[in-house]
Amino acid sequence: MVTRVPGWLLRHRITVECYQGDSAYGPTYGEPVCVPALVAAVRKQVADKDGREALATAQIIAGPELECPPGSRLTLPDGRTATAISTARHTAPGLPVPACTEVMCQ
Left (φ > 0), alpha (ψ -120 to 50) or beta: where does 38 sit?
Answer: beta
pLDDT in tens, 78-88: 999 999 999 99
Distance CA 96, CA 52 (A): 34
Torsion of CA 54, 43, 79, 105, to 10 degrees: 30
Position 1 pLDDT exceeds 80? no
pLDDT in tens, 34-74: 999 999 999 999 988 888 999 999 999 999 999 999 999 99
